[in-house]
Structure 1
């Protein structure tokens, strides 16, 4: 099995979201032609949610048999269920509430008002992942995992120099004292993210250029967490021109 790591550059944030949405629809249809189920890991952030909005707006949206798609999240903010800053709520508004996906196919993290502790919520999500996994694995077969990238190179809620990026045993971690608010979060770990067949990192803006350049130049995952992310089959960075300013030219691909 080949493993590619490529950067696809788009003119601006809008064309970036539209292109990723179109690729997602095409790839998911292909996955469902070969498998009974497609399993997708969602992300938050303005660009990640923008991609979901573009999927929803696409005329080809319902070429996907949404009843056969399972949705998980790479991370979540430890906030009340109805808080507008929760990744789950944003994804529902952008796409999930508009498609024919069964409620049981949507695997959201617990919320801060669910009556459980942050640690118990992490354990519960890990248990849910394992229950959906084949052959006693720790997590399902993730077909496509979306990730954003912070200016500091963080992915999901795995931040530089914090224990989360170093975790190798658990599939989910409780995050305390996040450098980005809110301070408490839940996140899949690097092994769980790297179990994905395809990791699609979607980022825009000049403030992301340094982190992306460092990651592709071989920075350590502790310094720049995105440097430690690589899908089993393919890792693609979908970026706008400003985010691509420090990407080595040999990694920029005209198509994928």
Structure 2
């Protein structure tokens, strides 16, 4: 599959990046709701994903979104108990979701460990895949943080999950970044989004950004295999963009 043209946007620092991407996200969701009546977003965790959500929460424009007509999904999740502070879902609630009037039936967290599927991470992944199958339309915006090793979601270089082509959601065991057990969307699922936005800020992301944008094989650099149906945005601060020839 050929990736669409990618756009790289560089912001002065991570705080300005968070505010600018928050404004961009609010606009994208409002436009989607105007065009189709509702909107959908796939969230990411990590410092940049949570920083973005906090910036949305602080934005005076946040109420332009009809939060009751928004579907919220997650690209990956740490397979830990539901009240574990490592959970992307819990961090997203603290950063934004508890502050806006979402429809609870349209919020789709990935199952925790010790939940309805116990510690069976494969069953949890299958359950989320089944829930995902109910999504009739492509996601409007799918957010991804880029790791220093070029991982996105919980798809790590060299691991089998990067090469998965049949399943939409998979279990991850022995991830190189703790916690080791996770649930993640696969690259083919990520590519069903209308727009994919990759977030990276900080010097520790500069090599990963340069490597992924050099378009190596996705098995070696998973971020290189993440792109949207209509647009792919790399949203960076100057530190993360330091190795790029712009």
Structure 2: tracts of 5 or more residues without a match:
none
Once the two structures are superposed, what CA deviation does each residue of 1:179-209 show, in whole Å capped at 9, x if it has no partner?
0000100000000001110001111011111
Question: Aligned to 1:170, what secondary structure does the other structure show?
Answer: coil
Q: Hey, what does 1:178 align to over in structure 2?
A: 175
User: How many Å separate the matches in 2 of 1:106 and 1:199?
Assistant: 19
The equivalent of 1:142 in structure 2 is: 139
Aligned partner (choices 206, 210, 215) of residue 213 of structure 1 = 210
Q: Is the 8 A contact 2:29 2:40 kept in 1?
A: no
Tell me, yes or no, if structure 1 residue 132 matches structure 2 residue 135: yes
Q: Residue 240 in 1 paired to residue 241 in 2?
A: no
SS in 2 for 1:18: helix
Match of 1:50 in 2: 51
Gaps of at least 5 residues in structure 1 are: 134-139, 250-256
Per the normalisation by structure 1, the TM-score is 0.92
User: Displacement, 1:4?
Assistant: 3.1
TM-fit CA distance, 1:132: 2.4
Determine if contact 1:213/1:248 at 8 Å carries over to the other structure. Answer: no
Q: Using the alignment, how far apart are the partners of 1:92 and 1:4 within structure 2? A: 33
| TM-score in terms of structure 2 length | 0.96
Q: Write the distance in 2 (CA, Å) between the matches of 1:196 and 1:8.
A: 19
Which range moved further: 238-247 or 152-161?
A: 238-247
Aligned residue for 1:18?
19
- CA shift, 1:115, in A, is 4.1
Runs of 4+ in 1 over 2 A off after TM superposition: none
Matched residues, number: 242
